[in-house]
């Protein structure tokens, strides 16, 4: 779990169709990062803050889906304590600790 106010890094692949859509959502969530195209997906690496990876994931996915309904999200959130949590859409798939 992330402590409130601590940064979390995440990377994800999404089937959103426009990089501009993703950049807009990142801006709405006060996240700083990069967006690049990889095949038919976009890969995002960014930093943001929140109470938990689950909370951040639940903020980001609906924000993308407001703009593009059929967006899917494979995300890995890493807190500054080394805990990584992997999600597919809203479902937690794996937790690891370095």
Under 8 Å between Cβ of 47 and 9? yes
Under 8 Å between Cβ of 10 and 80? no
Whether residue 40 lies inside any domain: the answer is yes
Whether residue 64 lies inside any domain: the answer is yes
| pLDDT value of residue 16 | 59
pLDDT digit string, tens, across residues 20-78 = 777 788 787 777 778 887 777 777 888 887 788 888 889 888 988 887 777 888 888 88
Task: Count up the domains in the chain and report the number.
Answer: 1
Under 8 Å between Cβ of 12 and 25? no
pTM score over 0.85:
no
| Phi, psi dihedral angles at 24 (to 5 degrees) | -60, -45
Range of the domain at 52: 7-97
pLDDT at 88 over 70: yes
Whether residue 33 lies inside any domain: the answer is yes
Sheet (strand 7-14) strand order: 32-38, 41-49, 7-14, 73-79, 83-88, 91-97
Whether residue 93 lies inside any domain: the answer is yes
CATH number of the domain that 87 lies in? 3.30.70.260
Tell me the pLDDT band of 17, cut-offs 50, 70 and 90. Answer: low
Whether residue 2 lies inside any domain: the answer is no
């Amino acid at each position: 779990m992330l402590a409130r106010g601590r940064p979390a890094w995440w990377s994800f692949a999404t089937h959103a169709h426009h990089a501009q859509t993703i950049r807009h959502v990142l801006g709405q969530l006060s996240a700083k990062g990069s967006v690049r195209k990889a095949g038919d997906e976009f890969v995002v690496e960014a930093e943001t803050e929140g109470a938990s990876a689950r909370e951040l994931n639940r903020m980001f996915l609906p924000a993308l889906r407001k703009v593009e309904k059929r967006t899917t999200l494979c995300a890995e959130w890493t807190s500054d304590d080394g805990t990584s949590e992997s999600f597919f859409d809203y479902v937690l798939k794996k937790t690891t600790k370095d």
